[in-house]
Amino acid sequence: MPQAWQPASKERHIDASGYFSNRTIVALTTPAGGALCGLRISGASAIAIGCSLSGLQLSHEDHRRAKRVWLHDEKGARLDECLMLAFFAPHSFTGEDAVEMFLHGSPMIAQRVLEECFKLGARLALPGEFSFRAVKNGKLQISQAEAIKEVIAASNDFSLDLALEKLAGSQHQLVGAVKNELMQVCSLSEAGIDFSDQDIEEVSLPRLKARLNKVREQLEALRGSFDRGKRFNEGVPVSIFGLPNAGKSSFFNALLGEDRSIVSDIAGTTRDVVREKINLRGKSGQVTLRLSDTAGLRESSDVIEGIGIERSLRAAEESDIVVVVIDGLEPHFERVKAYLDLVVLAGKAFVFVISKLDLLTNEARKELTDGVFHFFQQNAYFISSNSLEGVRDVADGLAACAGLQLIRKPGEVVLTQMEHVRAVESSLEILARAMVASDLVLFANDVRHAMNALGPLIGETLPDDVLGKIFSDFCIGK
């Protein structure tokens, strides 16, 4: 993740108390060196620092009003002319008094303004410390703060839309509703303990266990969403599959627009899986693909090549989309089908590509089209990796296939972080224990622990070191 430029002397301005420091903090919110450079100050002294630098006397009437001002150092020398906004607590991003400035983009200007802020008592913000303070002061939920990082890191339309929904609070609302239901069940079960000598149906153990079924279904759906969540952020896995010299590596390079895989006329040149990411724009938006160029499939006595072939089959197994490249001059449909039969086909999309289009007659193209349909019941793309004819069509087809893998139902929450999956799994394990509990005391205890296990998704009951780790992965200035 790109970091905003900061002064070389930043070590002098770090507070040993870290994220739980109450000192005023400052950092660049955009990298210096462009047309404009953003700077944010937050904390009890933020307004005073803004006044000192600008010479203004800021009051609550100036809240959120942009002012064009000259900044000066302690000796009165001009630093820069900038746009400055003051935010009075609690109506700021962090919930504290804050000042934001938009400087000219010179790194020298940024250096000088930061140094003046340090002299006036501010320290350099830690990575993600502004967002940390927003969470601490109730301006953001932990899931929304994490979504900020995901918005910045988004590499395609699907991951960006998902992160923006999370930023708007979709995950927090769903998990909050689950937590509230668990809290109600827990309260009823504890009430049932108090009135155990009375026959009250609403607080009976069977009735309370039945109420947990919907919660468990929601958590199961969340747990199952993680594999898809990885595809939103990391890309849809795609393997390029076929016999030696079919043109797999040439197609891989043509799709990437660079010579990433070695291409030669010698069979077995590719002996390992070569991986790259690529973004393609389809009708549903831009998608990220994790491409794997694999070793050609054939019987081989070479130990190294044999390992590569095993990895080729494994890569196809682990892919959502398998691109089957067939040599237009020597198609060998039966052999291709025999190797394809070794791969578990369920749930995968297949794209068939016939290479060496520039060397094929119209009659040969018709025979190859018929052959693919006869053996695989699918149509095929024709490409020439030399002239690049047909490559754009395949790219469009891959983008469409990948887009289908990423379709979400309206309002569907998809988990993207392993820590959240572990929290859901832990809660489900405890709820499974609750479902076989023999009395209300054990049941109530399990339900309460299941509720607490969801803390990492909603920011409750998180130890300080875990909070610090979450925000340490952010950019400085966020």
**CATH number of the domain to which 379 belongs:** 3.40.50.300
Q: Are residues 339 and 449 in the same domain?
A: no
State how far the Cα of 11 lies from the Cα of 124, in Å rounded to an integer.
9
Q: Are residues 107 and 38 in the same domain?
A: yes
Domain that holds residue 338: 231-405
Q: Are residues 54 and 113 in the same domain?
A: yes
Identify the three-state secondary structure at position 460.
coil
**Domain at 215, CATH number:** 1.20.120.430
Q: Are residues 367 and 384 in the same domain?
A: yes
| Dihedral sign of CA atoms 407, 411, 417, 421 in order | negative
Q: Are residues 32 and 133 in the same domain?
A: yes
- Angle, helices 391-405 vs 248-256, to 10°: value is 80
The number of domains in the chain is 3
Burial class of residue 190 (count of CB atoms within 10 Å of its CB; 0-12, 13-18, 19+)? middle
Residue 267, pLDDT score: 44
Q: Are residues 318 and 432 in the same domain?
A: no
Residue 261, pLDDT score: 43
Q: Are residues 365 and 279 in the same domain?
A: yes
Residue 151, pLDDT score: 86
- Residue ranges in the chain whose pLDDT is less than 70: 1-17, 192, 194-203, 258-273, 296, 298-309, 344-346, 459-474, 476
Q: Are residues 260 and 395 in the same domain?
A: yes
**Tokens linked to 119:** 């002299």
**Domain at 82, CATH number:** 3.30.1360.120
Backbone φ and ψ of 437, nearest 5°: -60, 140
Where do the DSSP E strands lie in 283-344?
285-293, 321-326
141-163 confidence digits (pLDDT tens):
888 888 888 888 888 888 888 88
Q: Is 219 among the domain residues?
A: yes
What is the DSSP pairing of strand 285-293 with strand 274-282? Answer: antiparallel
Q: Are residues 265 and 377 in the same domain?
A: yes
Residue 38, pLDDT score: 95
How far CA 468 is from CA of 14, 82, 249, 461, in Å, comes to 15, 33, 44, 14
Q: How many CB atoms are located within 10 Å of the residue 283 CB?
A: 8
Residue 14, pLDDT score: 53
Q: Are residues 255 and 395 in the same domain?
A: yes
Amino acid (1-letter code) at residue 394: V
Identify the three-state secondary structure at position 97.
coil
Residue 1, pLDDT score: 44
364-409 confidence digits (pLDDT tens):
999 999 999 999 999 999 999 888 898 899 999 999 988 888 888 7
Q: Is 4 among the domain residues?
A: no
Residue 142, pLDDT score: 80
Q: Are residues 392 and 297 in the same domain?
A: yes
How far CA 86 is from CA of 26, 68, 362, in Å, comes to 14, 12, 71
